[in-house]
Each structure stands twice: as structure tokens, then as C-alpha cells.
């Protein structure tokens, strides 16, 4: 008798638990109404991630006020706040293609997760590094050859009737330059709120899974983003003219040097 009562209580508890748990179902399509499989649906509150099937359908646990993030490579990210009516009516989500994508490049290097092994892939030989340094010094250095100039001897040069007179055109040009400097607005440096908004937009559009493959957590990526911004002035250059492709390209190029000098992951 006691065993039967315990079993009945267990069944009642399980049914109550599932009755309190709610699920949202939905479908993901593109702008021409084609289903999009392999789309990630993420609930930050529960940290649950589900993937759409071949028909673009999904189901995920949620409660009202949860914020779902819908991510698919090549498409704009979508954020959706769950409401009460979403539990009775299936979600119909439409993702927009990104306006500009970097041309796909086949990358031979596949990170292993071991930083020592991965860094060895990017290391150049001592001879190559020395040659690159010498070429850079030569290109950046002053010219050693004297460039011949076509110059008429002074005895054969035509007489300059304006010699000793005020150069009106030169004076006007100088005045125009001074007026331009006085009226030109200083470089617009973003304030704290604009920098924070820029960081948020970057995290919404970049492929964070790429950086996670190098052992970066979301906290590590925040530090890395601030580092690249300080070094390359990302927020100053792009907070008003936001260009996802260029920003992501600068981040990936900076990552190679960053992981050489900074500890990433645990």
C-alpha cells in the first residue's frame, strides 16, 4: 500500500513539472519563403540551443519575456521576445540575406584547440622573417638614387615679369586653407554610450563560434574586442559607418597576433 502511494505521488509530481514547462514551436524561412534548415535557435536564459530540421521547423522550451536569438550563417541575426500568444500560434520567422559577404575562401588550416600546435602553423622561418624585414626597411627608407631634373639654365630661361610681385593666386590659396582649417569640424570620437552600442552590434553580427573554436568564451571575446578597438580604433572608424564585412576581417587578422601574446580560454 505504501509503495503504491509513493508511485502515485511520483507520477503526480512528474505531470505537474511537465504541465508547468512551456514550449514554442516555429518555422524559419528566407525572403523567398524557402525553408532554412540547420538554423540555430538559442535561449540565453536556459542556455538551450536547438537546430531547425530539413523543413525549417523547431521546438524550444521558453517562458514569456524570454528572448530567442536566431542565427544562420549568411543571414542577418534575428532576436525575438516571447509573448503569451506565441505558445498558441506557431512562430513564422523570416531571415534576410546579408547585404554583403566576403567571398568564400577555402582555408587549409583547421584549428585543433591546442594553441601551441595552432600557432606553429602561422610561424614563418627565420630566413623568411629576415627577408620580409629587409624588404620593409628598403620600401620605407629614403631613395638613394638621384632623380635627374629637366631644368633650363638661368641664362636661357625666359624673363619672369612677375618676379618681385605679390603672388595673388598663392595668397588666395593660403587664405582658403586657413579658412578651411578654421571651419573644419574635429574628428568625431565616439562617447561611452556609442562605444557600448558599437560593441553590442559587433557581437550581434560576427560568428562567435569561429572564436570559440580558439577556446574563447564570450567574456574572452569581450576583452579581445576591446583590445582590437584600442589598437585599431574600430569604434571611431565604424560606429557611424558600420560595415560588418570589414570589421570582421579586421578582427580575424588581429586574432592571429592576439593569441600569440595573450592567454585564451582556461
Q: Write out residues in the chain with pLDDT < 70, as ranges.
A: 1-20, 100-109, 113, 115-125, 135-136, 138-187, 265-266
Interacting residues of 80 by C-beta distance below 8 A, sequence separation 6+: 67, 68, 70, 91, 93
- pLDDT at residue 146 in the model: 56
Element of type H or E holding 255: helix 244-261
pLDDT for the residue 53: 96
Residue whose entry in the numeric block shows the C-alpha cell 632623380: 147
Q: At residue 87, what are phi and psi to the nearest 5 degrees?
A: -85, -15
Cβ contact 113:48 at 8 Å: no
Q: Which domains does the chain have, with CATH numbers?
A: 11-94 (2.60.40.1120), 103-132+189-266 (no CATH)
Q: What is the pLDDT, as a whole number, of residue 111?
A: 72
pLDDT digits (tens, 9 = 90+) for 169-211: 555 565 566 555 555 555 578 898 998 999 999 999 988 898 8
Identify the three-state secondary structure at position 224: helix
Say how far apart CA 166 and CA 179 lie, in whole Å: 20
The whole-number pLDDT of residue 112 equals 74
Cell 558600420 belongs to: 242
The residues that bridge with 79 in the sheet, in sequence order, are: 69
> For residue 54, what pLDDT is reported?
94
Give the E-state strand segments of the chain in sequence order.
Answer: 23-29, 40-43, 48-51, 57-61, 67-71, 78-81, 91-94
Amino acid at each position: 500500500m505504501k509503495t503504491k502511494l509513493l508511485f502515485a505521488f511520483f507520477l503526480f509530481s512528474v505531470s505537474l513539472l511537465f504541465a508547468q514547462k512551456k514550449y514554442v514551436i516555429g518555422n524559419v524561412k528566407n525572403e523567398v519563403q524557402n525553408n532554412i534548415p540547420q538554423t540555430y535557435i538559442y535561449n540565453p536564459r536556459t542556455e538551450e540551443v536547438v537546430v531547425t530540421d530539413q523543413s525549417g521547423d523547431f521546438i524550444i522550451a521558453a517562458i514569456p519575456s524570454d528572448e530567442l536569438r536566431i542565427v544562420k550563417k549568411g543571414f542577418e541575426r534575428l532576436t525575438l521576445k516571447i509573448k503569451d500568444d506565441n505558445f498558441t500560434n506557431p512562430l513564422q520567422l523570416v531571415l534576410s540575406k546579408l547585404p554583403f559577404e566576403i567571398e568564400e575562401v577555402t582555408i587549409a588550416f583547421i584549428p585543433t584547440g591546442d594553441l601551441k600546435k595552432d600557432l606553429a602553423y602561422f610561424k614563418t622561418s627565420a630566413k623568411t622573417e629576415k627577408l620580409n624585414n629587409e624588404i620593409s626597411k628598403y620600401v620605407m627608407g629614403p631613395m638613394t638614387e638621384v632623380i635627374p631634373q629637366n631644368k633650363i639654365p638661368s641664362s636661357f630661361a625666359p624673363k619672369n615679369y612677375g618676379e618681385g610681385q605679390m603672388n595673388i593666386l598663392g595668397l588666395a590659396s593660403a587664405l582658403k586653407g586657413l579658412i578651411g582649417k578654421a571651419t573644419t569640424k574635429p574628428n568625431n570620437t565616439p562617447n561611452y554610450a556609442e562605444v557600448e552600442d558599437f560593441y553590442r552590434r559587433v557581437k550581434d553580427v560576427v560568428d562567435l563560434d569561429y572564436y570559440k573554436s580558439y577556446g574563447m568564451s564570450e567574456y574572452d571575446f569581450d576583452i579581445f574586442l576591446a583590445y582590437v578597438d584600442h589598437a585599431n580604433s574600430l569604434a571611431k572608424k565604424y560606429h557611424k559607418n558600420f560595415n560588418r564585412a570589414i570589421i570582421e576581417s579586421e578582427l580575424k587578422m588581429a586574432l592571429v597576433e592576439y593569441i600569440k601574446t595573450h592567454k585564451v580560454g582556461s
